[in-house]
Amino acid sequence: MKAVYEKTTAFNDLVTGYCPGCGHGIVQRMIGECMDELGISDRLVAILGVGCSSPSWRFMTYDILSVPHGRPGAAASGMKKCDPNKIVYTYQGDGDSGSIGFSETVYPAVRGDNITSIIVNNTVYAMTGGQMAPTTLAGQVTTTSPKGRDVNATGQPLHLPELVASLPGSRYVARVSLHDTAHIRKAKQAIKQAFENQINGVGYSMVEVLSPCPSIWRMKPVDCMERIAREVIREFPLGTFKGA
Amino acid sequence: MGDFKFIKGNEAAAEAAIRAGCEGFFFYPVTPSSEIGEYMANHLHRTGGVFAQAESEIAAVNMMFGGAATGARVMTGTSGVGYSLMSECISYMAGAEVPAVIVDVMRAGPGLGSLEPTQGDYNQVTKASGHGGHIIPVYAPSNAQEIVNFVHESFGTAERFRTPVVVLYDGYTGQVMESVEFPEGRQEKKPNTWSLDDAPGRKGRVVRSGYAGGIGQHSFELYAKYDDMKEKLQRFEEYQTEDAEIILVGFGIVGRICKSVVDKARDEGLKVGLIRPIMISPFPAKAFAKYKGTKVKFLTIEMSYGQMCHDVALAVGENDNTHFFRDKCGSLPAMSEILNRLRQLKGENS
């Protein structure tokens, strides 16, 4: 019998600890599949920022560095410079990358460092309880925008991939989504492309993944997927902004 | 025979690091430390090391963290303003037990302050390198030769205790040119069991300071390390202390000046000695323990409002015998002024 679907070797036997319906498990599993398919388990390093995914080192089997909030981009650059053999990727939320770590996230692309940046955008600060993020949609209610995000006072949602794509140093920039199976498969392709680029020395790649957060959105997992399809994609269009 | 050079203190720090085996240097420009980065940009490639100028001190120290996590021997150079920004990551590195060397060349005064010689960052580096209550070793060189010796040695200390290590000196010591001898050979590098090194087939490793499930055990392991550092890293120089009635205490360039003051005072018949802390963290309390309950007076000299004087008072037991001489910020203390204060203290004695 031929196995058509197996557990990735990137995970051990522990449960992830994510809320039911969370997107992190899907993204980290896809990264694990890429690791297996590309044969880079001895070289792969995840650099984790601070957010819901910070404790994910527990259930992953490969090398992991956990760094301060927002700083994975800088740590990845330093690591890649010291050991170019590593396949280094940053794993961050939208607040980690787009707010506190804006500078450290953008500068690897300015320099054109050969690293991979995976950003999970769920439009809120989830780990701290659902505060407004740079990506929160106009009018979206959060604990710190109780009347809905007022874009006149707090600005429009931040589009990090579009910004990074405009920099000469970036090579591949895409936004993908997890809201249905077809899009999950596309997301996997984009993530794999981002890792292949690094392996082949192409240069800086960023993939932003639109991801559901049932606990903070106060929605059922299936309704979260519908919200992404109907509302979130309208603000954050999917696509490849740069590179193949 | 080693190799002699006539060189600026800051450049001596960089050259010593290269010779010690530094493999990565990450940097953001800040006066009066910038020569360290400039020297590294020109010379680190000699030994195959990588140099990177970051977009900020925050990025520089996190680049250093990323490099250090692979087991590479890494360093940064900065000044107090930059050290403030780096403190977040220094705390993470202390928690994750990752070795690195940070050279901090002090500026004068809070905020933007100024560039004259000062020692206002004593508390910052010995007590407040970020949140969480960690302790990291701090060397306090008093001249260019000691900058060379301590930078070289600090890589070994960082790896031995798995911790960031600071080499702290003032802008004057960093800018003055002196003749130095460079030690031969690199710091020995031993294999480790924690880093994200290139070892195909080994199990995945995690370098982290996060202990969301409970930090108790990790804290006790760190405390045991701090005890070990207190036991092994209390370093100081004693000069003419055997029969001294008054003992001067000064670190860095102030210690160097005080040594000359001791000679002058002895010429006048004043029985004066010197204790010069060579490492200011952990504080060399054992240098002072034997004076508890004696009539020996202590005069601490600092180029600040007074920071180390509190550690001296704690070590010797604060009483009428502990004194502090606050030099005006922004200039080296004059020997004549210290001598006057010593004569005064002698007068109070008799």
Residues B53 and B120 in one domain: yes
Q: Are residues B46 and B143 in the same domain?
A: yes
pLDDT band at B132 (very low <50, low <70, confident <90, very high): very high
Same domain, B150 and B91: yes
- Say how far apart CA A168 and CA A159 lie, in whole Å: 17
Sheet containing B279-281: give its strands across. Answer: B50-53, B24-27, B74-79, B100-106, B164-170, B138-139, B279-281
> A60: closest CA among A41, A74, A79?
A41
Whether residues B264 and B223 fall in one domain:
no
Q: Which of B194, B209, B232 is the last residue of a domain?
A: B232
> Any idea how long chain B is?
350
Rounded to an integer, the average pLDDT of B166-195 is: 95
Whether residue B307 sits in one domain with residue B228: no
- Distance separating alpha carbons of residues B28 and B51, to the nearest angstrom: 11
Would the pLDDT of B257 be above 60?
Answer: yes
Domain ranges for chain A, please list them: 24-242
Q: Do residues B92 and B193 share a domain?
A: yes
Q: The sheet that has B322-326: what strands, in order across it? A: B236-239, B272-277, B246-249, B297-302, B322-326
CATH number given to A24-242 = 3.40.50.970
Which chain A residues contact residue B92 at CB under 8 A? 67-68
Per-residue confidence band for B349, with pLDDT thresholds at 50, 70 and 90: low
Give B-chain residues touching A75 at CB under 8 angstroms. Answer: 62-63, 65-66, 69
pLDDT band, very low/low/confident/very high, at B317 (cuts 50, 70, 90): confident
CA A228 to chain centre: 15
B54 and B202 fall within a common domain: yes
Residue at a domain's end among B232, B264, B294? B232
Report the pLDDT averaged over residues A150-165.
98
Tens-place pLDDT, residues B222-241: 999 999 999 999 999 999 99
Q: Is the pLDDT assigned to residue A95 strictly greater than 70?
A: yes
Weakest-pLDDT range from A32-46, A73-87, A134-148, B304-318: B304-318
Report the candidate in A15, A115, A9, A96 with the shortest Cα–Cα distance to residue A56. A15
- Say if residue B170 is in the same domain as residue B38: yes
The C-alpha atoms of residue B338 and residue B237 are separated, in whole angstroms, by 19
B87 touches chain A (CB under 8 A): no
User: In which band, very low, low, confident or very high, does the pLDDT at B46 lie, cut at 50, 70 and 90?
Assistant: very high
Residues of chain B contacting residue A78, judged by C-beta atoms under 8 Å apart: 24, 26, 52, 62-67, 74
Mean pLDDT of chain B: 94
Residues B7 and B71 grouped into a single domain: yes
Task: Answer whether B66 sits within 8 Å of A74, measured CB to CB.
Answer: yes
**Domain that includes residue B113, residue range:** 3-232
Q: Tell me, what's the ipTM?
A: 0.96
Q: Are residues B33 and B103 in the same domain?
A: yes
Query: What CATH number does the domain containing B204 carry?
Result: 3.40.50.970
Last residue of a domain, one of B204, B232, B260: B232
Q: Assign residue B258 the CATH number of its domain.
A: 3.40.50.920
Q: How far is A230 from chain B (nearest CA, A)?
A: 36
Please check whether residues B214 and B258 belong to one and the same domain.
no
CA–chain centroid gap for B232, Å, is: 16
Q: pLDDT tier at B255 (50, 70, 90 boundaries)?
A: very high
> Looking at the complex, does the CB of residue B66 fall below 8 Å from at least one CB of chain A?
yes
- Reading the block at residue B278, the tokens are 């060579």
How many other C-beta atoms are found inside a 10 Å radius of the C-beta of residue A39?
A: 9
Provide CB contacts within 8 A for A235, sequence distance 6+: A137, A138, A157
Say what angle helices B144-161 and B9-20 make with each other, to 10 degrees.
40
Q: How far apart are CA A116 and CA A172, in angstroms?
A: 9
- The whole-number pLDDT of residue B4 equals 93
- How far off is chain A from B59, nearest CA to CA, in Å? 5
Nearest residue to B206 via CA among B99, B131, B98, B134: B98
Among A70, A77, A155, A156, which Cα is nearest to A119's?
A70
Q: Is the model's pLDDT at A62 over the cut of 90?
A: yes
Same domain, B323 and B174: no
Q: Which of A43, A55, A64 sits opposite B212 (nearest CB)?
A: A55
Element (H, E) at B228: helix B216-232
B311, B316, B321, B327: CA torsion to nearest 10: -20
